[in-house]
């Protein structure tokens, strides 16, 4: 049992990766829709490339969206809306008219005139409320029929027969003229306007329910295909009815109700394909990015981003598949490249697109667009910390999407008139969403403890608190760090390493010297040397301690691990040569390991470059009368000694790279010392 526990403990990194791999596979398969996958790509407007296709079962032929839309428009044109008639309002108005009439007209009128006026008012009120008075909001066609509901009965009435409140004055004037009551026009019009109220209102709920009921009666199919019937022959052009029958077969196939056994087989198939795709990604990381493979946090970061893109896409597809291009999939290669490198970013992007190809419609078109956009992202984006570069890249991504979609559409439709402008809007929204990559990278840095070029740019500011403190406490070391940073940046650019990372690492590599600044030559301003009163062993311990002190300071100030790596490795496992030789003068049996830095040795191009630049820059101060030949020999001697000691064995740097670094250092040192060509006398 104990041996098994020890085995688990020793291999915990491997077990974690296996767990992460299986968990990601499970979650992706869980997110995928579980249904049959139609095994043919339908080549619209092109010859059928497969063998003759026969109907595998009976299925109905679906109507096209255009046909469904035409039927709905026909229903809309013939649909009769519902209006409610309020009888209580009509009776109340008639009673109010009777009362107002008595108060309005005086007793001085003759009985004949009074009777004529009363009859006019009663008849006009009855005529107005025969079909009701409507406060019109949305006018209809005058000949449009409506249902007028009086209680539980609904009768068909022409819309023009319902009096509108806006036409009440004209209606009253016409009736007054017909009745010969012009002398009482003002009183009668005022009477009706003060008393009459609308009693007909539009019943939106009932109208809408009736319309939906008619929509539901629409048949979405036209005819059927029996099992065994030939659908399309090899070489036959797929268009018209053939195209619609194929689309109907695909829809029927993918929407079938699967039995439990079928369901498990589908899940197994998805699981195997997702397993293989993620396995390729894991093997790529292990073979070509072993430093990332060894870091569980970095591996988790890569798989988390793949899972995030799958999650976003599946959610959008479930909401509305037309918005699938709104998902900013190019954020994936941008973030991976921002933290690692372009090759891993592109490979991860391609694997993710292959996974999404299982669930998106028009999978070939989707994968082509996304892979091309990912390649453009990798090729064009550089120095992501510069905002202008990000906007330019987003513009190029959007343009590639639009051009690719336009090309696919004219190939499939044979005309530019079938291009849908709404899709261009989707591409534009997806491009704008890609701008979210900067705050996302910031969040990733905090969650996963990684570092991007944007953070490196902030750290390279010499006005930062830590570098200001270094310049105050150890000005000579600060000046030395600036020189090393310039050398490291130039050398990194020469061999294609991360120049920003190398520069930042160089700026902070000697911050440990702040603890005992006067024990380092560059900070000694007087002829008094602090080492004069110490033994060589004690002096060596103080010199070596600046690495440990630097790591402690860096961790307290929350510097990223990638920057702390430069502090750890800038001396590798070399010895404090000066004090080792002094000790040998009095003790021949001295152990060199007592004067050796703890390491580790550099394990990347950038840390190896820093070791070379740091040693060369520091030792160059000892050249009393520098000239071109001395500098060349000096650089060769120092770097060759580091190579002989095997300091670069763990770094991913070639002999050619080292030769290029030597050339840069020689050229830069000659510029620093302002050396001129020696002309013959």
Query: d(Cα 507, Cα 617) in Å, to the nearest integer?
Result: 13
Least confident range of 355-364, 415-424, 440-449: 415-424
Q: Residue 295: which of 448, 88, 191 has the closest Cα?
A: 448
Backbone phi and psi for residue 143, each to the nearest 5 degrees, phi listed first: -85, 0
Residue 257 above 50 pLDDT? no
44-65 pLDDT, tens digit each: 777 777 788 888 777 888 888 8
Pair 118, 101: CB distance under 8 Å: yes
Reported residue count of the chain is 681
296-310 pLDDT, tens digit each: 999 999 999 999 999
pLDDT at position 664, please? Answer: 93
Least confident range of 30-34, 170-174, 562-566, 627-631: 30-34
Burial of 668 (0-12, 13-18, 19+ CB in 10 A): buried
Residue 243 above 60 pLDDT? yes
Residue 274 above 90 pLDDT? yes
230 or 255: which leads in pLDDT: 230
Query: d(Cα 83, Cα 134) in Å, to the nearest integer?
Result: 9
3-state secondary structure 119-152: HHHHHHHHHHCCCCEECCCCCCCCCCEEEEEECC
pLDDT, average across residues 113-124: 87
Question: Tokens at residue 391, please?
Answer: 């906007």
Contacts of 339 (CB under 8 A, 6+ apart): 298, 301, 441, 444, 450, 451, 452
73-95 pLDDT, tens digit each: 988 888 889 999 998 888 998 88
Position 553 confidence tier, pLDDT thresholds 50, 70, 90: very high
Q: Residue 423: which of 362, 372, 332, 371 has the closest Cα?
A: 362
Burial of 509 (0-12, 13-18, 19+ CB in 10 A): buried
Pair 551, 599: CB distance under 8 Å: no
134-176 pLDDT, tens digit each: 887 778 888 888 899 888 888 889 988 888 888 888 988 898 8
* DSSP-H helix ranges across 320-381: 331-339, 342-356, 363-380
Q: Greatest CA span in the chain, whole angstroms?
A: 149
What letter does residue 219 receive in the DSSP assignment? -
Q: Is the bond into 528 cis (omega within 30 degrees of 0)?
A: no
What letter does residue 676 receive in the DSSP assignment? -
Sign, CA dihedral 290-294-298-303, equals positive
Position 681 confidence tier, pLDDT thresholds 50, 70, 90: very low
Pair 550, 512: CB distance under 8 Å: yes
Q: Is the bond into 496 cis (omega within 30 degrees of 0)?
A: no
Residue 262 above 80 pLDDT? no
Query: d(Cα 131, Cα 142) in Å, to the nearest integer?
Result: 14
Contacts of 215 (CB under 8 A, 6+ apart): 72, 75
Contacts of 434 (CB under 8 A, 6+ apart): 328, 330, 331, 334, 394, 397
371-380 pLDDT, tens digit each: 999 998 888 7
* DSSP-H helix ranges across 217-295: 240-254, 260-288, 290-293
Contacts of 637 (CB under 8 A, 6+ apart): none
DSSP lists the bridge partners of residue 84 as 149, 201
Position 679 confidence tier, pLDDT thresholds 50, 70, 90: very low
Q: Residue 665: which of 448, 489, 401 has the closest Cα?
A: 489
* DSSP-H helix ranges across 80-156: 87-104, 111-128
Please provide the DSSP assignment of 289-336 as one string. -HHHHT-HHHHHHHHHHHHHHHHHHHHHHHH-GGGGGGS-TTHHHHHH
pLDDT, average across residues 258-267: 68
Backbone phi and psi for residue 85, each to the nearest 5 degrees, phi listed first: -105, 125
Q: Which domains does the chain have, with CATH numbers?
A: 2-35+260-448 (no CATH), 82-202 (no CATH), 453-672 (1.10.3210)
Query: d(Cα 459, Cα 177) in Å, to the nearest integer?
Result: 92
Residue 256 above 90 pLDDT? no
pLDDT at position 254, please? Answer: 66
Residue 603 above 80 pLDDT? yes
Highest mean pLDDT among 236-250, 262-276, 403-417, 544-558: 544-558
**Three-state DSSP state, 154:** strand
pLDDT at position 662, please? Answer: 94
Q: Residue 20: which of 301, 257, 217 has the closest Cα?
A: 301
399-408 pLDDT, tens digit each: 888 888 888 8
Residue spans of beta strands (DSSP E) within 499-630: none
Q: How many CB atoms within 10 Å of residue 355? A: 23
pLDDT at position 255, please? Answer: 65
Give how far the C-alpha of residue 260 lies from the chain's centroid of Cα atoms, to the nearest Å.
Answer: 36
Position 486 confidence tier, pLDDT thresholds 50, 70, 90: very high
């Amino acid at each position: 049992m104990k041996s098994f526990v020890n085995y688990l403990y020793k291999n915990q990194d491997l077990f974690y990766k296996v767990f992460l791999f299986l968990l990601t596979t499970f979650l992706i398969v869980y997110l995928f829709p579980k249904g049959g996958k139609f095994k043919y790509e339908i080549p619209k407007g092109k010859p059928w490339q497969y063998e003759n296709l026969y109907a595998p079962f009976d299925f109905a032929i679906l109507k096209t969206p255009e046909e469904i839309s035409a039927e709905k428009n026909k229903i809309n044109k013939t649909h009769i809306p519902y209006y409610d008639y309020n009888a209580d309002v009509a009776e109340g108005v008639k009673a109010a008219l009777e009362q107002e009439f008595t108060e309005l007209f005086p007793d001085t009128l003759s009985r004949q005139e009074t009777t004529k006026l009363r009859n006019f008012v009663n008849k006009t009120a009855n005529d107005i409320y025969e079909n009701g008075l409507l406060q019109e909001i949305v006018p209809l066609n005058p000949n449009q029929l409506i249902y007028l509901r009086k209680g539980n009965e609904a009768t068909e009435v022409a819309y023009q027969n319902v009096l509108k409140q806006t036409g009440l004055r004209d209606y009253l004037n016409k009736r007054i003229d017909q009745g010969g009551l012009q002398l009482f026009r003002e009183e009668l019009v005022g009477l009706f306007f003060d008393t009459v109220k609308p009693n007909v209102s539009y019943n939106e709920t009932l109208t809408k329910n009736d319309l939906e009921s008619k929509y539901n009666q629409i048949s979405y199919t036209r005819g059927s295909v029996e099992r065994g019937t030939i659908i399309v022959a090899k070489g036959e052009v797929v268009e018209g009815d053939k195209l619609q029958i194929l689309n109907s077969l695909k829809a029927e196939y993918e929407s079938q109700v699967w039995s439990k056994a079928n369901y498990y087989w589908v899940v197994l198939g998805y699981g195997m394909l997702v397993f293989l795709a993620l396995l390729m990604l894991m093997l790529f990381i292990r073979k070509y990015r072993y430093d990332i493979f060894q870091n569980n946090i970095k591996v988790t970061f890569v798989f988390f981003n793949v899972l995030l893109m799958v999650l976003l896409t599946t959610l959008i597809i479930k909401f509305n598949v037309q918005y699938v291009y709104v998902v900013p999939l190019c954020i994936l290669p941008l973030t991976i490249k921002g933290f690692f490198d372009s090759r891993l970013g592109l490979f991860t992007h391609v694997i993710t697109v292959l996974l999404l190809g299982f669930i998106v419609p028009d999978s070939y078109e989707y994968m082509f667009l996304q892979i091309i956009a990912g390649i453009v992202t990798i090729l064009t984006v550089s120095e992501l910390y510069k905002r202008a570069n990000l906007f330019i890249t987003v513009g190029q991504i959007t343009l590639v999407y639009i051009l690719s979609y336009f090309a696919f559409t004219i190939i499939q439709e044979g005309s530019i008139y079938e291009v849908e402008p709404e899709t261009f809007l989707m591409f534009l929204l997806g491009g704008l969403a890609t701008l979210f990559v900067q705050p996302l990278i910031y969040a990733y840095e905090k969650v996963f403890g990684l570092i991007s070029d944007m953070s490196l740019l902030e750290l390279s500011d010499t006005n930062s608190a830590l570098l200001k403190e270094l310049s105050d406490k150890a000005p000579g070391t600060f000046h030395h760090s600036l020189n090393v940073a310039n050398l490291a940046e130039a050398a990194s650019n020469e061999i294609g390493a991360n120049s920003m990372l190398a520069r930042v690492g160089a700026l902070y590599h000697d911050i440990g010297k702040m603890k005992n600044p006067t024990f380092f030559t560059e900070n000694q301003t007087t002829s008094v040397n602090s080492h004069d009163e110490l033994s060589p062993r004690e002096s060596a311990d103080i010199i070596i301690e600046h690495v440990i002190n630097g790591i402690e300071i860096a961790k307290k100030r929350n510097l990223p691990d990638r920057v702390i790596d430069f502090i750890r490795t800038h001396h590798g496992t070399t010895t404090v040569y000066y004090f080792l030789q002094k000790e040998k003068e009095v003790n021949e049996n001295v152990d060199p390991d007592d004067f050796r830095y703890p390491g580790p040795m550099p394990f990347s191009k950038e840390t190896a470059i820093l070791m070379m630049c740091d040693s060369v820059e520091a030792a160059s101060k000892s050249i009393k009368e520098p000239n071109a030949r001395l500098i060349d020999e000096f650089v060769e001697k120092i770097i060759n000694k580091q190579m002989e000691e095997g300091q670069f064995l763990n770094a991913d740097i070639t002999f050619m790279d080292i030769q290029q670094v030597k050339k840069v250092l020689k050229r830069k040192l000659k510029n620093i010392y302002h050396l001129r060509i020696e002309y013959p006398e």
